[in-house]
Amino acid sequence: MTEKTTHFGYEQVDWNEKQRRVAGVFDSVADNYDLMNDAMSLGIHRLWKRFAIERSGARPGQRILDLAGGTGDLAAKLSRIVGPTGEVVIGDINASMLNVGRERLLDQGVSGNIRFVQANAETLPFPENSFDCITIGFGLRNVTDKQKALESMYGVLKPGGRVLVLEFSKPVVPGLKQVYDLYSFRLLPMMGRLIARDESSYRYLAESIRMHPDQESLKEMMQLAGFEDCEYFNLSGGIVALHRGFRY
């Protein structure tokens, strides 16, 4: 019987091996994650995340799940919107990222309505109809079974709830792909070596972006998971896309 495999960047690995390999990447980069985000995107990642929050429809009193919540960028802003009567749950499979996020948000004085849960997106440990909104920023491409994760998100959403997937995608502006490839495979690993002292993890991140489904493919996956009124917004010429879908 042939063993089931999946991709880890451009490398084919055993299906059950990817989760461990991805965990190793984020254990390595956790302490420098925010610094590298700013360096890699020239700070533009903050605008992408602001756009996602504007499209989230978050309101006071709501309960929101921020998956792959990492160091808490989205959660900090969402917590201010939902206020003391609401709650933001940061879910991340990686304990190192959760620890960095917890310390960072405590330093910022943001903690009262935020809860941290170590969770696998493919099998979310929450009852059905738990959340008004789910966000996942730059995390879906690292999930082994993306379809299963989308179905799990659908299951824990309340009727009328929505999911927002912010992720690197495929450039749509003519000529941008060539420039982006040069940046990703030449400059990004070099920045990883100089700033985070970890070239291989950032080479994996560049490769994982290329292996992620394109805009239309991800939209179809969301529809297959049950989401309705699915749409996407290309940001920075399609380098990043925000997908949104609803559960009715």
Q: Is 117 helix (H, G, I), strand (E, B) or coil?
A: strand
Distance CA 16, CA 118 (A): 19
Distance CA 215, CA 246 (A): 17
- Answer for the pair 140, 149: CB distance below 8 angstroms, yes or no: yes
Distance CA 18, CA 7 (A): 8
Write out pLDDT tens, residues 187-233.
888 887 887 778 887 888 889 989 999 999 999 999 999 999 999 99
For the chain, the structural domain boundaries read 5-246
Write out pLDDT tens, residues 58-97.
999 999 999 999 779 899 999 999 999 999 999 999 998 8
Question: Counting runs of H as helices and runs of E as strands, what totals does the chain give?
Answer: 10, 9
**With 50 as the cut, is the pLDDT of residue 1 above it?**
no
Write out pLDDT tens, residues 137-170.
999 999 999 999 999 999 999 999 999 999 999 9
Q: How many CA atoms lie within 13 A of 127 on its CB side?
A: 2
pLDDT above 70: percentage of residues in the chain: 98
pLDDT above 90: percentage of residues in the chain: 65
CB atoms within 10 A of CB 204: 24
**With 60 as the cut, is the pLDDT of residue 2 above it?**
no
CATH class held by domain 5-246: alpha beta
Q: Can you tell me which residue has the tokens 């109809």?
A: 129
AA identity, residue 198: D
